[in-house]
Amino acid sequence: MFKKSRADYPPGLLAIYDNGGATIDRYTVVFTPYNLFGGLRFPTLTMSANPTHPQGVALRGESASRPTRSPGERAIGLDDLPDGCRQCVEDDLRGREVECPHCGGLGPELISAGPHAGERCRVCVSH
């Protein structure tokens, strides 16, 4: 399992960082990683305060290592995001496979409970 920056994040979310408006892409969201050809990839979403506005910013990317908080940034909760940002994060979470609660996405365990019981998460299947 990967340590979340805050305990109140929903499954699939590792961190939300706010740089206080120092740049147009103020918010950085780090999702749980997936396995790609034997290496982990950390999906990210970087956004301005209004990412769905025509002049807003919403960039999806990924990193081979877990992105960490930069100087001047602070970890914030999902509810601390502006409505448009929160909606983008929730949409991304809905589109992701669930993380295996047994292995944290690092082994071939079956999910034991919930709507995906008996299934394997995408990360586990790729091993």
71 and 102, same domain (yes or no): no
Total domain count, the chain: 2
Dist. CA 29–CA 111, nearest whole Å? 25
Mean pLDDT of 43-65: 93
114 and 67, same domain (yes or no): no
Mean pLDDT of 16-43: 91
Dist. CA 48–CA 75, nearest whole Å? 16
3 and 58, same domain (yes or no): yes
126 and 79, same domain (yes or no): no
Contacts of 55 (CB under 8 A, 6+ apart): none
Q: Is the pLDDT of residue 118 over 70?
A: no
103 and 79, same domain (yes or no): no
30 and 5, same domain (yes or no): yes
**Structural domain containing residue 70:** 1-96
Mean pLDDT of 110-121: 58
83 and 118, same domain (yes or no): no
pLDDT recorded at residue 110: 54
Mean pLDDT score of the chain: 81
Q: Is the pLDDT of residue 99 over 90?
A: no
92 and 63, same domain (yes or no): yes
Contacts of 60 (CB under 8 A, 6+ apart): 43, 44, 45, 92
Residue 17 or residue 33, greater confidence:
17
44 and 104, same domain (yes or no): no
Residue 8 or residue 104, greater confidence:
8
Picking from 107, 117, 28, the residue whose alpha carbon sits closest to that of residue 75 is 28
Residue 7 or residue 120, greater confidence:
7
Q: Is the pLDDT of residue 72 over 70?
A: yes
